[in-house]
Copies of this chain bind each other. A is one copy, B any other.
Amino acid sequence: MDPAEFRRAGHAVVDWIADYWATVERRPVAPAAPPGTVAAALPSAPPTVGGEPVEAVLADLDSIVVPGLTHWQHPGFFGYFPGNTSGPSVLGDLVSAGLGVQGMLWASSPACTELETVMMDWLAHLLDLPERFRSTGTGGGVIQDSASSATLVATLAALHRASGGRWRHTGIDRRYRAYTSIHGHSSIEKAVRIAGLGSDGVRSIEVDPDTQAMLPDALRAAIEADLASGDVPAIVVATIGTTSTTAVDPLPEIGAICAEYGIWLHVDAAYAGAAAVCPELRWSHAGLEYADSYCFDPHKWLLTGFDCDAFWVAHRAELIEALTVLPEFLRNAASESGAVIDYRDWQVPLGRRFRSLKLWFVLRWYGADGLRAHIRSGVALAARFADRVRADDRFEVAAAHPFSLVCFRLRADDDTNAALLASANATGRVHLTHTRVAGRYTLRLAIGSPQTTEAHVDEAWAVLCEAAATLPTAQGTGS
């Protein structure tokens, strides 16, 4: 495809996306077709002769692929956590794809590394993160694909520290332990397993029944018990905004415990970290000065397309020492000068895309004020929805909602709530997911799309009320 063909086809694809965004609201949020529907509509082998115009592929996108999607950019999408992109993010990613450079080393394409360092400092400025995370000191930031990978590399650096620097050579030779609350994300167990501690290496710490946040006394007790049996506490993962309910673990108390015992503190703010762009929501980050590492996902609630996890460490030398491997074919004068960052040593894979471009486009398009307005809109819409729930005796709010997630349920048993979720989602007008809070089935409504307005939240409430009215045990008093 030469540049002229690309220009023509590229305009067609841009137009296709603009049309998709303009019409996505008219589609069912999620498909109803059974497994295998999309695959069955595709040929079983690639064509021998190419040359199909892009328009033919776009036509198959329309007829085969799009009907099989759950539409994460739909204003009625309230599932999981938001994963919203934006026009400037897509365009930044497009430039990255077009340039096609590799940022594994500074030397492999210097601007790719330098823009990333500056963008991570911009984000640290925007969230008012502690100075120790800025590139001007001992720390620094890097883009990971996801918070899962951030937790993994934090765990590896923590193991290296806990081993006294032996780990990179000898591996797991003691019973190292990791601590997180029972609401810590599943990626923590996965990271600990990947790192060779087994699922048994995770200590799940109880939470306060009112706040769903980690109990510092329970953390201390678990650490003491492990020390007494000769285990080695290596890392605590605290969460700002748990996946179940957006609970905020008490960092000041947890951080003091980590400092006392010399344990690495990683803070996972994957979803709620974005809230710190608003000064009035920065209470959630109190105690962050204790953290050895921290991450949040601009790809969740900051209008930047997946994948873009922003990860910082307070002491970059520890991370690099844990992860670096230097084969001859990557040696170069710039790396050996010590004057540059080679981000390959900050992550699992060797290769890296030019992901900071999308942050650059997003930050310049929205500015700090625009991002704050986006976050505030989500918080206000969540409060609006929670008010509806509270005003209806059939329902209850199941947890605090400081950000843009509301956990709620019918005052009924688990099966009835599961039926409510299935019934509401079956309308195709909304898509919600669920969790368990204190063992009870609980619906989650997560807001994050810039297209989601009061009308969409009100419609979600109407859909839920209609669905509830059809459930045998949930008709109650109404409102």
Contact = CB atoms under 8 A, between A and B. Distances in A.
A99 B20 contact: yes
Interface string A86-100: 111111011101111
A5 B200 CA distance: 52
Nearest to A442: B328
Interface string A197-229: 111110000000000000000000000000000
Interface in A277-314: 299, 305-307
Nearest to A359: B46
Given A7-B14, A46-B364, A93-B94, 14 more contacts: A1-B87, A6-B17, A10-B87, A31-B110, A38-B115, A65-B111, A69-B110, A70-B107, A72-B109, A73-B100, A80-B329, A146-B351, A171-B196, A190-B348
B186 A46 contact: no
A108 B7 contact: no
A365 B37 CA distance: 24
Contacts of A419: none
A299 to B, nearest CB: 8
A336 interface: no
Main secondary structure of the interface of A (DSSP, over half): helix
Nearest to A109: B70
Oligomer: number of copies? 2
A148 B327 contact: no
Interface string A21-46: 11000000001010111110010111
A88 B48 contact: no
A18 interface: yes
A448 to B, nearest CB: 11
Given A171-B193, A172-B171, A305 B100 contact: yes
B46 A21 contact: no
Nearest to A303: B1
Interface stretch (A380-388, A428-436, A455-463): A428-436
A304 to B, nearest CB: 10
A434 B328 contact: yes
A57 B94 CA distance: 13
Given A171-B198, A172-B171, A70 B101 contact: yes
Contact of A348 (B17, B194, B244, B370): B194
A110 B17 contact: no
Interface stretch (A119-127, A246-254, A395-403, A469-477): A119-127
A7 B18 contact: yes
A241 to B, nearest CB: 13
A346 interface: no
Interface string A312-354: 0000000000010111111100100101100000001111010
Contacts of A108: 70, 79-80
Contacts of A39: 114-115, 117-118
Nearest to A48: B368
**Interface hub of A21, A193, A351 (most chain B Cβ within 10 A):** A351
B146 A350 contact: yes
A193 B196 CA distance: 10
A366 interface: yes
Contacts of A121: 44
A255 interface: no
A149 interface: yes
A152 interface: yes
Given A36-B114, A46-B122, A363-B47, A434 B106 contact: no
